[in-house]
Amino acid sequence: MAQKKRVTFDDIAKYTNFSKTTISRYFNNPDSLTLENQQIISDALVKLDYKENKVARILASGKTEFIGIIVPNLYLRYYSEMLDQILSTYETFGYKFLVFIGNGNEESERRYIQELLSYQIEGMIILSHTIPSRELAGLSIPIVTIEREDRFVCSVNTDNYMGAVQATSLLARHKCDVLIHVNSPTPEERPAYGRIQGFRDFCKEHHLKHQVIIEELGNTNESSQRQMSHILNQIEMNYPNQKKGIFVSSDTYANVLLNLLFRKYGTLPQDYLIIGFDNSPVSEEAIIPISTIGQQIEKLAYEAVSMLVTQMNERKKRRPVPLKEPIHKMVTPILIRRETTEGFLE
Amino acid sequence: MAQKKRVTFDDIAKYTNFSKTTISRYFNNPDSLTLENQQIISDALVKLDYKENKVARILASGKTEFIGIIVPNLYLRYYSEMLDQILSTYETFGYKFLVFIGNGNEESERRYIQELLSYQIEGMIILSHTIPSRELAGLSIPIVTIEREDRFVCSVNTDNYMGAVQATSLLARHKCDVLIHVNSPTPEERPAYGRIQGFRDFCKEHHLKHQVIIEELGNTNESSQRQMSHILNQIEMNYPNQKKGIFVSSDTYANVLLNLLFRKYGTLPQDYLIIGFDNSPVSEEAIIPISTIGQQIEKLAYEAVSMLVTQMNERKKRRPVPLKEPIHKMVTPILIRRETTEGFLE
DNA sequence: TTGTATGCGTTATCAC
DNA sequence: GTGATAACGCATACAA
């Protein structure tokens, strides 16, 4: 009823005639007690309705089992799916997650990081792009980034370059007359830049006619539709009666393009092949299932947490050996062939 | 370089020749110090590079500023969007969030709740459906649920009934020959049941020919496509040459239906009107923008946190007055008219 | 196997 | 306005 004050080790100790230490040991090293005494304490816990207090434990042990996360938003499926997978590793590693939404605001994110540090988090996973990795590296706490600039910190990334090569070579195999890559402006330091690089390199190496179209496509359906419409006009002007293989930087944008074509022609014309990137739900839910390069988000998430856990454990040793160089792990994406490249039966 | 041990109030006290108490006051009640002394301490903080330790503060004060969240998954946009908005209230209320993914596993969720409680969270927001509200109510900590069974706990919900009425009346205004509602099996205790109820009541009240189709549509695109295909066959058989107004329980499913029709007819036939629910991105990104009932997710999230904060504050008073009855707040959804009901120009 | 004493970094309660 | 001291609840080195 009323908020009776909490039961502590002291209460249990008194009740069982053991010392606080023994009670503590019951939780942290039960084997050091006789089975009989374990039972006695166990019974007492139930009797007194004991609830553990991990805050006190943290203060005493220094181990919070907290990991801080800063994610730009959860509006993009890529991030929400990634967060889902990261949080789900609780079952494997037992770490709890304090989550902040960055929203691209650098100053806010700095505040969030300070707040996280004040809670004695043991490590941090960063998905937002704002704060330079050099600054992150100075925080003296294990950090792993995912799919962002990562020169000075550990990271896990999709092999974007390889993904682009897979996408491009698929289009090439279909003997397109021209290959086109559509993307938003992307800084070279970002892993995602590999999509542009991979496309270019493959085309050049195989002497394929190609074009890279870089245009800000925006974050709303309306703006991407407007921009993509311009791009499409341009393409139709430049390459009439040619078989066009288009590699779009994301499924969302690929879907916009597909819809424009579909609304214009009532179908996807035979001289258009489209492939996206991400394998996000929209690629399946589209009017025609869209071929795509599937990011292995579950694996990326697992590798990130796993890498972080390794480093956090290292720090708990008596004589920790810090990393000489940041580790960068690559996860290979998977080519997923669907109807926008493999023909479409009306 | 090496992990020099942390700077504490003690160090600052020694450095400034004040007592620990004064340092503490500098943070919690600075006005009680002279401006001059504030400056001295402030300088010392910078000099010594002090980092605050909120864990110690929690232990001493009992206030964690933690809110626990259990969300079923982040795969469904509804949840990820809601979580996004909830986390974003940090800027307003300052509470930090510990997040767990429930995945519909009742036993796991019980463990998560225990874990959360052990971290002395001050309140909890529950979006998952597994644990009965009666059990939640017994946890003796403020709880607010969102869009789930909420008999014994506080909650914030969309006014599903009103939303259904809005959707149905829109279809009715378009003088459909028959109104159809498609939904998955939904327990009556869930707020979402109001969608079925609202549809039925409106149709009956206005003596409209109608049918409610309840069928498990599944969680994958493939299964919903298969089920929806059956349903569509059924509808085409039963109501040939009639104008059909179809209210689908979610945008995702509405999109599946729309795609089936579009692939079959190359357009949305004139005798079909479709309206979904949620205003999730897919409703905009669809081959034709789908009319829908927009849930005000930002508002729902804000109201939930706000309601929780009120109760958490109440508990901190000397003589807290607990709620006699759980509060249930309704947020009215918004009708969004797009091309699937307002005519579509090819 | 069990107990004692001390520490973790704050806040809270009194005094002055 | 400032300080001494006792919590807060648990972990751990050292003894026994």
- List B210's β-bridge partners, or say none: B179
- List B245's β-bridge partners, or say none: B179, B273
Q: Check residue A273 and give its pLDDT.
A: 97
Nucleotides of chain D in contact with protein CB (under 7 A) are 1-13
Contact: B259, A285; criterion CB under 8 Å: yes
Every domain of chain B with CATH number 3.40.50.2300 lies at 66-158+297-331, 160-294+334-342
Q: Check residue B6 and give its pLDDT.
A: 80
Across B123-137, average pLDDT: 97
* pLDDT tens track for A195-207: 999 999 999 999 9
How many angstroms separate the CA atoms of B274 and B102, rounded?
33
CB proximity B87 to A under 8 Å: yes
Q: Check residue B2 and give its pLDDT.
A: 34
Counts for chain A of helices (H) and strands (E), in that order: 15, 12
Alpha-carbon distance B140 to nearest alpha carbon in chain A (angstroms):
8
Across B244-248, average pLDDT: 98
Q: Which residues of chain A make contact with B222, given a CB cutoff of 8 A? A: 284
Q: Which residues of chain A make contact with B285, given a CB cutoff of 8 A? A: 221, 252, 255-256, 259, 282
Which residue is associated with the tokens 């998430």? Answer: A301
Burial class (CB in 10 A: 0-12, 13-18, 19+), B212: middle
Alpha-carbon distance A263 to nearest alpha carbon in chain B (angstroms):
7
**pLDDT-derived band of residue B322, with 50, 70 and 90 as boundaries?**
confident
- Would you tell me which residues have their CB within 7 A of strand D? A 5-6, 8-10, 20-21, 24-25, 27-28, 52-53, 56-57, 59-61; B 17-22, 25, 32-34, 37, 56, 59-60
Average pLDDT, chain B: 93
* pLDDT tens track for B58-103: 989 889 999 999 999 998 889 999 999 999 999 999 999 999 999 8
Q: Which residue type is seen at A138?
A: G
Q: Which residues of chain A make contact with B52, given a CB cutoff of 8 A? A: 118
CB proximity A31 to B under 8 Å: no
Burial class (CB in 10 A: 0-12, 13-18, 19+), B253: buried
How many angstroms separate the CA atoms of B48 and B12, rounded?
8
Q: Which residues of chain A from 248 to 267 reach within 8 Å of chain B, CB to CB?
A: 252, 255-256, 259, 262-263, 266-267
**pLDDT-derived band of residue B5, with 50, 70 and 90 as boundaries?**
low
Q: Round to a whole number and report the distance in Å from the CA of B56 to the C1' of C11.
A: 9
Q: Round to a whole number and report the distance in Å from the CA of A122 to the C1' of D9.
A: 21
Burial class (CB in 10 A: 0-12, 13-18, 19+), A57: buried
Assign domain B160-294+334-342 one CATH number from 3.50.50.60, 3.40.50.300, 3.30.450.40, 3.40.50.2300: 3.40.50.2300
> What CATH homologous superfamily does B66-158+297-331 map to?
Response regulator (3.40.50.2300)
Contact: B59, A64; criterion CB under 8 Å: no
CB proximity B94 to A under 8 Å: no
Q: Which residues of chain A make contact with B45, given a CB cutoff of 8 A? A: none
Q: pTM here?
A: 0.93
Name the residue among B115, B221, B288 with its Cβ closest to that of A96.
Answer: B115
Q: Check residue B4 and give its pLDDT.
A: 52
Alpha-carbon distance A190 to nearest alpha carbon in chain B (angstroms):
24
CB proximity A275 to B under 8 Å: no
Number of neighbours of residue A12 by Cβ within 10 angstroms: 21
How many angstroms separate the CA atoms of A24 and A305, rounded?
29
Instruction: Verify if strand C has an atom below 7 Å from the CB of A33.
Output: yes
Instruction: Verify if strand C has an atom below 7 Å from the CB of A53.
Output: no
Residue B1 scores a pLDDT above 80: no
Alpha-carbon distance A227 to nearest alpha carbon in chain B (angstroms):
15
Across A294-321, average pLDDT: 92
* pLDDT tens track for A1-32: 334 567 899 889 988 988 889 999 999 888 88
Chain-centre distance of CA B224, in angstroms? 23
Contact: B74, A80; criterion CB under 8 Å: yes
Q: Which residues of chain A make contact with B254, given a CB cutoff of 8 A? A: none
Name the nucleotide with the smallest C1'–CA separation from B50. C9
CB proximity B141 to A under 8 Å: no
Q: How far is residue A161 from each of residues A158, A184, B159, B243, measured CA to CA in Å?
A: 9, 16, 48, 51
Residue B164 scores a pLDDT above 60: yes
B276 within 8 A of B250, measured Cβ to Cβ:
yes
Q: Check residue B3 and give its pLDDT.
A: 46
Q: Check residue A176 and give its pLDDT.
A: 95
Interface test with B, best of A79, A119, A127, A345 (most B CBs within 10 A): A119
Name the nucleotide with the smallest C1'–CA separation from B34. D1
Q: Residue B72's closest chain A neighbor by CA?
A: A84
Contact: A51, B117; criterion CB under 8 Å: yes
Q: Check residue A191 and give its pLDDT.
A: 96
